[in-house]
Amino acid sequence: TMRCFTVAALALLAPCGLSMSIGTRRTALARGIAFGGVTLAAPPALAEPEFTTTESGLKFYDKTVPSDGAIPKPGQTVQMHYEGWLADFDDLESKFDSSYERRKPLSFAVGTGRVIAGWDEAILTAGGGMRIGTTRQIIVPAKLGYGAKGAGGIIPPDATLYFTMKLLSIAP
């Protein structure tokens, strides 16, 4: 509620001759700013999700988990929607890929090395495996991603990768 009020208050200030860039508005929202004698409070901090770390160093957090979805087995074809970042989840400047933006999920045979090792682990074994309908956030250390080589001029060497992924379907 506070965030909605502050966003609305910042938007209302622009017609009064005060213009702000989006970055300035974000800073104002994060810190709480005084305008014309009115102090806009910073929104309450959101609780950070608690990630589970596997033996390999993969970190994962399940945002949603259906109770009855099937779990894929190695070699089965899965369909996934995902977004990937270099710096942190939802960081607009570091997003490097998104199946949502292409409007086309990624299909691949899981557990066969067709994707980075961190993905195979996140889908097949982390937390007992992903169920259809699960939305999971993962933090992939470089050794489970693209390692010291990086990838395609987009992923730098030794990069930690951040993904939000959703398992849509499994085919035999």
Per-residue model confidence as pLDDT tens digits over 84-130: 999 999 898 999 999 999 999 999 999 999 999 999 999 999 999 99
Catalytic residue, candidates 33, 120, 139, 163: 163
Taking residue 137's Cβ as centre, other Cβ atoms within 10 Å add up to 19
Nearest to 76 by CA among 144, 164, 140, 169: 169
> Annotated catalytic, 97?
yes
From the candidates 116, 138, 139, 170, which is the catalytic residue? 116
123 noted as active-site residue = no
pLDDT digits (tens, 9 = 90+) for 12-47: 333 444 444 444 444 444 445 444 555 555 556 566
| Strand bridging mode 77-85 / 161-171 | antiparallel
Q: Which of 35, 89, 96, 108 is catalytic?
A: 96
Q: Residue 100 catalytic?
A: no
